[in-house]
Structure 1
Amino acid sequence: MKVLLVGEFSRLHNSLKEGLQELGHEVYILGHQDGFKNYPVDFPIQKKWDSGFLKKIKVTVHTIFGFDISSYCTYIQFNKNKSKFTGFDVIQLINENSFYCQYYYEKKILDFLFQNNSKTYLLSSGYDYLNVKYCFENPNYKSGIQGYLAGKINPKSFENVLKFRTASFKKLHQFIYSNIQGIIASDIDYHIPLLQNSKYLGLIPNPVNTIKIDFQPLRISDTIIIFHGINEANYYKKGNDYFEKALSIIEKKYDNTVQIITTRNIPYSTYIDLYNSAHVVLDQTYANDQGYNALEAMAKGKVVFTGAEKEFTAHYNVTERVCINALPDIDYLVHELSFLIENPNEIIAIGKRARAFIEKEHNYILIANKYLEVWNSKTTSY
């Protein structure tokens, strides 16, 4: 099978590609390269007019004329190489805005892909029209939108989410849905909003290539190291404010027993060096399931504060904790951290179970096979 995976921002498509290749398939990735982690892309699209003086010009042009220069540049890059994006058995879009374009150019690109390839599937692995609609209609549903609803995030900073509520993105959503064979969710957070959707084919867990992630059994001497890596652009969306307040209490309470490492917008190589030394990793408070960052940390044997709600434990039949379900609740976070600090053997046990869980439920070859089954039979659900 010849497969084109469109978009990459978490290593999901790279891990899926590696699994499919192990099974003998021909696979390519098309999309922008993430500036922070710079995941491999076979057909890269360069982000242009996206920083400095050129960005100011772009914003001015868009404000006056409604024309987005970056979208046009992306379309031109795609169009120059469009002959390479035909004849695929399967195309999979990582979300409803895989090319980061405005409606007009995103539709032109997608229309070409729909017309010149056999089947197209859509992943729900981040915010999209239906997910955002569900979260706003269900404000108690655990999601990053809760930070916005609480007034902590201003609309300009939340534009990458709010755009899915606009008329043009609703129109784009309808266009995509009329051309795809089905939609697949990558975890419980995206699964629940799609349960009543006629095109929903089910949940397929994120693939993780554990061959590329070393498991280091946790060893604890006198100090427990807690790592909190902050991307300030997502500060309130991830619930970092709750983590910081909880950590300030933990630091006073345990003093010499813990070492707290907090980073902000540091280079990825530095981030990984610090992160690798930790026993406990704080990921996010507004999730029902684990995203890709949490899964990679669990694969390394870390104890991760992330999403692990009852829907997650029921879906995977988890009876012992493989991570800590984080909540936007300072007292709760302090209680959970305190328990681990006072029971270091539990840190070691959870770390081992975390790795075993990833190997069992997220094995990249097993997951690649599940994708193949869905792509070949759209009535199959997981």
Structure 2
Amino acid sequence: MKILLVGEYSRLHNSLKEGLMVLGHEVTLISAGDYFKDYPSDIKLKRHFEKGLLKKLKVGVFKLSKIDMGSLSLKQQFFKHSEELKGYEVVQLINQNPIGIQANHEQQIINFLKTHNSKLFLLACGTDYISVKYAFEKKLKHSLFSPYFDGKITKKAYQRIFNKISKQGETHFEFVRTQCDGIIASDLDYHIPYKGEPKYLGMVANPVNIEKIEYTPLVIGEKIVIFHGINKTNYFKKGNDIFETALAVIEQKFGDKVEIVTVENLPYNQYIKALDDSHILLDQIYAYDQGYNALEAMAKGKVVFTGAEQEFLEYYGLNEDEVCINALPDAEKIAEKLEWLISNPDQIIKISHNARAFVEREHHYIKCAEGYLKVWGF
């Protein structure tokens, strides 16, 4: 079967592609690489107008005409490959904005894909109208809006998120929902808001290609290495400020027992390599389930502070702190959990082993690819 995967924000589509290919399917991935992360694709669209004089030109043209030259460039690049993007049994969009461009340009692309291929599916992954609206209405005890509600960030700084629930954002989502044959959630952070939504087909766990991720049993030496990766654009949204407050406490109390490694805005390959020598990863706060960075780190055997709420524990039949640490939006509690691990290194070894086993059991890329095929109706 021929399958086209559109967009990439986390390596999810790359791992799904690898699983589908093992199962004998022909898969093409087209994306713009997601800025500095630069994920690989079979057809890579290049973002121009992002710096220097070209960026100034883009800003000037947009002010005068509301035309985004960067968006227009990506759309034009997409249609240069139009003949390669026809005749697929399944097309899956990574998100309601799979290329990350203006809504009218996304709609032209999605309309083309719907017209020239058999089935079109939407993945609920990343910020979209339904999950953002659900969070903004405070239906979750904490969410990506928590920093905004707490006054840490202005509405202007969060404008890209608010755009998802603007009238234009709602209209765009309704267009995509009308075009698609079904919607699939990638984890519980999207499964929960999408329950009861039209065309929602359920959740298929994030696929992780464990064959590409080496598990090395952790060895506790003189110091426990704590890794904190920061995406500056999402600093408050991911709770990096809370992690940094907790780390300051740990460094003052256990400076001779820990090494804290902080990196910012690393491309994916550099990020994964930088993580290798650590024992503990501080991934993100406010989530209910693990995102892709967390799962890949868990597959490496790292002890990850990430989303692991009660809903996650119940869904997978786990105990608290069994495979990862639930990162609550409370620096004191995070510091307490870090202190517990530092004082009980045997727990680090235990959780490390459990983390790898969990990813192998629930997120194996071939098993998850089979799950997608079932939901797609094949």
TM-score between the two structures when normalised by the length of structure 2:
0.96
The worse-fitting range, judged by mean Cα deviation, of 140-149 and 324-333 is 140-149
The worse-fitting range, judged by mean Cα deviation, of 172-181 and 291-300 is 172-181
CA distance in 1, matches of 2:20, 2:31: 18
CA distance in 1, matches of 2:100, 2:267: 24
Q: 1:322 maps to what in 2? A: 323
Question: Contact 1:139–1:146 at 8 Å: present in 2 too?
Answer: no
Q: 1:380 maps to what in 2? A: none
CA distance in 1, matches of 2:46, 2:264: 25
Question: Contact 1:340–1:346 at 8 Å: present in 2 too?
Answer: yes
C-alpha displacement of 1:267: 5.5
CA distance in 1, matches of 2:180, 2:272: 38
Structure 1 residues 47 and 270: alpha-carbon distance in aligned structure 2, compared to 1, 3 A threshold? closer
Q: 1:374 maps to what in 2? A: 375
Q: 1:104 maps to what in 2? A: 104
Within-5 A mapping of 1:190-229:
190-229=190-229
C-alpha displacement of 1:222: 2.2
CA distance in 1, matches of 2:110, 2:266: 35
2:229 aligns to what SS in structure 1? strand
The worse-fitting range, judged by mean Cα deviation, of 64-73 and 349-358 is 64-73
CA distance in 1, matches of 2:102, 2:233: 21
Q: 1:10 maps to what in 2? A: 10
CA distance in 1, matches of 2:47, 2:128: 21
The superposition leaves residues 269-307 of structure 1 with CA deviations (integer Å, 9 ceiling, x where unpaired) of 554443211101100111100000000000000000000
The worse-fitting range, judged by mean Cα deviation, of 317-326 and 206-215 is 317-326
C-alpha displacement of 1:229: 1.3
C-alpha displacement of 1:162: 1.8
Alignment-mate amino acid for residue 285 of structure 1: I
The superposition leaves residues 25-47 of structure 1 with CA deviations (integer Å, 9 ceiling, x where unpaired) of 01000110234332221111111
C-alpha displacement of 1:262: 1.6
Q: 1:341 maps to what in 2? A: 342
1:45 aligns with 2:45: yes
Alignment-mate amino acid for residue 87 of structure 1: G
Question: Contact 2:36–2:265 at 8 Å: present in 1 too?
Answer: no
The worse-fitting range, judged by mean Cα deviation, of 169-178 and 9-18 is 169-178
Q: 1:188 maps to what in 2? A: 188
1:168 aligns to what SS in structure 2? helix
Q: Where has structure 1 moved over 4 Å in runs of 4 or more?
A: 266-270
C-alpha displacement of 1:97: 0.6
Q: 1:143 maps to what in 2? A: 143
1:256 aligns with 2:243: no
Alignment-mate amino acid for residue 22 of structure 1: V
The worse-fitting range, judged by mean Cα deviation, of 325-334 and 64-73 is 64-73
Q: 1:74 maps to what in 2? A: 74
The superposition leaves residues 330-358 of structure 1 with CA deviations (integer Å, 9 ceiling, x where unpaired) of 11111101100000000000000000000
Structure 1 residues 40 and 266: alpha-carbon distance in aligned structure 2, compared to 1, 3 A threshold? closer
Tell me, which stretches of 5 or more residues in structure 1 are unaligned?
378-382
Question: Contact 2:94–2:123 at 8 Å: present in 1 too?
Answer: yes
1:339 aligns to what SS in structure 2? helix
RMSD between aligned alpha carbons?
1.5
C-alpha displacement of 1:139: 5.9
CA distance in 1, matches of 2:50, 2:264: 22
Question: Contact 2:301–2:356 at 8 Å: present in 1 too?
Answer: yes
CA distance in 1, matches of 2:265, 2:81: 34
Q: 2:173 maps to what in 1? A: 173
CA distance in 2, matches of 1:298, 1:376: 31
Structure 1 residues 51 and 155: alpha-carbon distance in aligned structure 2, compared to 1, 3 A threshold? farther
Question: Contact 2:38–2:267 at 8 Å: present in 1 too?
Answer: no
Structure 1 residues 283 and 41: alpha-carbon distance in aligned structure 2, compared to 1, 3 A threshold? same
Q: 2:361 maps to what in 1? A: 360
The superposition leaves residues 243-287 of structure 1 with CA deviations (integer Å, 9 ceiling, x where unpaired) of 111111111111211111122234655544432111011001111
C-alpha displacement of 1:109: 1.1
**Matched length:** 377
Q: Identity over aligned residues, as a percent?
A: 50
The worse-fitting range, judged by mean Cα deviation, of 252-261 and 353-362 is 252-261
C-alpha displacement of 1:143: 1.8
CA distance in 2, matches of 1:109, 1:269: 29
The worse-fitting range, judged by mean Cα deviation, of 248-257 and 58-67 is 58-67
Q: 1:295 maps to what in 2? A: 295
The worse-fitting range, judged by mean Cα deviation, of 302-311 and 107-116 is 107-116
